[in-house]
Structure 1
Amino acid sequence: MGEELFPRDARALGPGAVHVPDWLGSEAQRELVEACRGWARPPAGLRVVRTPGGGTMTARQVGLGWHWFPYGYARSAVDGDGAPVKPLPEWLAALGRTAVGAARAAAGSTGAGSGDAHGDPYGDEYTYDYDIALINLYDGDARMGMHRDGDEKSGAPVVSLSLGDTCVFRFGNPLTRTKPYTDVELRSGDLVVFGGASRLAYHGVPRVLPGTAPPGLGLTGRLNITLRVSGLVDGGPPGDSGVVEDDPQ
């Protein structure tokens, strides 16, 4: 934020995981918010996600490229209106690759790439074909429990972009939902990338801070755009649901 005495520095959240504050400028944030408004409209628009146990997620979600449902992906909104999923635009996939490059640059000063048994946790970002965008909308009471992004068949780094209200982001480890974990404040425009040894780390959002979005953004609540490489192929012919399921993580 412009009124702060000291800028926020990039921070390692784990091996292969880095937080880059203020990565998106104000204009880029506004453009993404406007794009999200279009993607959230039906068909295959913003929906409440229902869990296998009968509960519901408090953050609402829309997918691009592939539609996520617990615990798999499909080419249509199989747990919504059944419409074909909206495509992921190439400019958004390119933004994901640029984000991985920014994470690599930041990792040199944070130690995020050190001690990683997977080698370079970020790899060659130019080879990553980001084909999934999961967009979550949080209101002031929404939360996200500790979970792993484990339904993909690719180990490419996950790219997470924050817009709107500030949240507390909890980043843990690949073995357990409990400690050790790190809590970090994510503000509008912040970037988090995690790959390598942290690709399957548990993470969540225990708290959103209502009313903290930049005044000029025109957004109430928090938007999180998560970009992933699926490593999946369609499960059926054109017009089929293309369902690909995996075991629960």
Structure 2
Amino acid sequence: MADLFTPLLAEEPAREALADGAMLLRGLALPFASALIEAIHGIAAISPFRHMVTAGGHAMSVATTNCGAAGWVSDRSGYRYDAIDPETRKPWPEMPECFAALAELAAIQAGHAQFRPDACLINRYVPGARLSLHQDRNERDFAQPIVSVSLGLPAIFRFGGIRRNDPVRKFALHHGDVVVWGGPARLRFHGVAELKDGFHDQLGRQRINLTFRRAR
């Protein structure tokens, strides 16, 4: 499926190694951004964005929705994947072909072949929203990488180590950038600093992040 996008790449993306197993692919998603944004609108029309509640009872500043065979869910009982949207009581929207193709292409570009995502968490940030340091641990197979696509306003990506108190590095992410981490970097702590105000010509005063995972 990655071949769907390969012919559209005018040149190889600029690569920045973040750690062993982690790569930042500058602008990889730019040629496909319009298709991705159109698909996001379609997904949100079926399963609207909402502010989920953490296990501690706090509403997340980031609004979320999902697509794919499983969706990431957070509530007072904890964090998990579920095939059913708890608000609509219906299955999450199917993952668009352009989503899966880009995720697979990014994984290949970063050295993680054979990635087939079955879940995409879609996070919507507005100015002031942030995502605290955390590990992605709810998936069954940690051998599969994480692929994260940035759209809209720029953000600061925080990338730490395997332990919460390890040093944290900061990377500026722009519209179209893709971060992939797997292998020895798969369980590194990561997060997003508080989003600064601004305006993007396609998404306005917001940032959308697509996080692709193999959940099951």
Pair in the same fold by TM > 0.5: yes
After superposition, residues 169-208 of structure 1 pair within 5 angstroms as 169-176=157-164, 178-208=165-195
Q: TM-score, normalised by structure 2?
A: 0.86
Higher strand share: 2
Cα distance in structure 2, aligned partners of 1:181 and 1:18: 16
One-letter code of the match for 2:43? Answer: W
Aligned to 2:99: 92
1:163 is aligned to 2:151:
yes
Question: Unmatched 5+ residue regions in structure 2?
Answer: 1-12
Tell me the CA shift for residue 23 of structure 1.
1.4
Report the identity percentage.
32
Question: Unmatched 5+ residue regions in structure 1?
Answer: 1-7, 105-121, 233-249
Aligned to 1:224: 209
Q: TM-score, normalised by structure 1?
A: 0.75
Matched residue count: 198
- Aligned-pair RMSD on alpha carbons? 1.7
Tell me the CA shift for residue 130 of structure 1.
0.9
Aligned to 2:61: 58
Cα distance in structure 2, aligned partners of 1:58 and 1:98: 30
Question: Taking structure 1 as reference, are residues 146 and 218 closer, same or farther at Cα in structure 2, changes over 3 Å only?
Answer: closer
Tell me the CA shift for residue 207 of structure 1.
2.3
- Three-state SS of the structure 2 residue aligned to 1:81 is coil
1:67 is aligned to 2:71:
yes
In structure 1, which of residues 58, 77, 82 is the aligned counterpart of residue 85 of structure 2?
Answer: 77
Aligned to 1:35: 39
Larger-gyration structure (1/2): 1
Tell me the CA shift for residue 63 of structure 1.
0.7
One-letter code of the match for 2:116? Answer: D
Cα distance in structure 2, aligned partners of 1:81 and 1:54: 21
- Three-state SS of the structure 1 residue aligned to 2:194 is strand
Of residues 66-75 and 186-195 in structure 1, the stretch that sits farther from structure 2 once superposed is 66-75
Please give the per-residue CA displacement for 1:70-91, whole angstroms capped at 9, x wherever unaligned.
311111112x232221111333
One-letter code of the match for 2:145? Answer: P
